[in-house]
Amino acid sequence: MKPHLHEVTPETSAEPDVEVSEVSIGQLVGNVYEETPLAERGRLLEPLLRSLGVLSLVGVANGIFAKMRFRSGGQELHVRPDDVQNVRAADVTALVDYVQKASVDAIDRLGPALAASPAAAGSAAAALLVAMLVQRARARSGDTATREENHA
């Protein structure tokens, strides 16, 4: 069963026009992954996998992503369609949640990966994800500018 992109909370149920987004970036990436054709799913995972070491990947989703890194050896990471056959949206959500804790910038690299996949870029979840990533990047750049002004 796919997670819903929006859920109405009890506080907003009296106002039918108001929806509060309860979806995380991890859930959105999981939704996009699920909607992306098998042949293109690897491109979505590659920037996330590059941001973590093998030991970190062992602890995520029962090590399914660590196996992908081991298969590529010391070469450039390339996730093949047969690597992703058993990867579920929940595994991808767990990966993204872990990556966000390790490296905020790694999540920002999903934008170009989405743009490179016409099938992924056309989904509603991808559009919402890109909007969230842009909003997050703007907020961070605003925080950086504020910190620089305070130090000047």
Give the other-Cβ count within 10 Å of 88's Cβ: 14
Characterize 5-25 residue by residue with b for buried, 16 or more Cβ atoms within 10 angstroms of its Cβ, and e for exposed: beeeeeeeeeeeeeeeeebeb
Which residues of the chain register pLDDT less than 70? 1-22, 73-75, 121, 143-152
Q: What is the pLDDT of residues 44-67, one digit of tens each?
A: 899 899 888 888 899 899 999 998
pTM, full prediction: 0.72
